[in-house]
Amino acid sequence: MFYEQRMTVPDSPDDLRAEYEDDLAAIVDDRGAAAVAAETDVDREILESLAAGDSPDISLEQAARIQSLAEGEPDPETMVTMALEHLLLGMSTAVLDVDAVETELELDLDAKEVHQKIEGRAPMSFDEFVHVQYVIADGAP
């Protein structure tokens, strides 16, 4: 699950995102896009795109709402909190600061934006989360 602490990652952020999207797509496939849309307020077109194997633009919160529908999962707010806390913990473990994350990040975010997103003070897209998580886990000893 995307909100768990990562110590290893696949070869690229795209591979990591695909791993997570497979988990989310399985939930949509199992429950149906209409039911998931009704339960999560995530647009049905986004869910259908996800189920079709595409990588739609979703937020970290939307991913958490979808993931929360799987059996035994925490509520979406807890997932987002855990995900962000694990990023901070991972930065400590890997001895990375936001400047180091920015340097390795394949996205156009400056250190201040990275800092705000990791602390939950600015919205974070799922793609941003995956890229930041990849940099942190890839830098871990």
> What pLDDT, on the 0 to 100 scale, is given for residue 96?
93
> What pLDDT, on the 0 to 100 scale, is given for residue 11?
94
What is the domain range of residue 132?
Answer: 77-139
Which two tokens mark 28? 């949509």
- Whether 64 is in a domain gets the answer no
Q: Can you give the pTM of this predicted structure?
A: 0.94
> What pLDDT, on the 0 to 100 scale, is given for residue 140?
82
Task: Give the total number of structural domains in the chain.
Answer: 1
- Whether 39 is in a domain gets the answer no
- 95 phi-psi bin (left φ>0, alpha ψ -120 to 50, beta other): left
- Whether 58 is in a domain gets the answer no
- Whether 50 is in a domain gets the answer no
Cα–Cα nearest to 58, from 81, 85, 80, 89: 80
Cα 6 from Cα 27, distance rounded (Å) = 21
Which two tokens mark 63? 């991913």
Placement of tokens 């800092």 in the chain: 115
Neighbours of 77 (CB within 10 A): 12
pLDDT along the chain (141 residues), means of 10: 90 96 97 97 96 96 98 97 96 93 94 96 97 93 75
- Whether 30 is in a domain gets the answer no
- Whether 111 is in a domain gets the answer yes
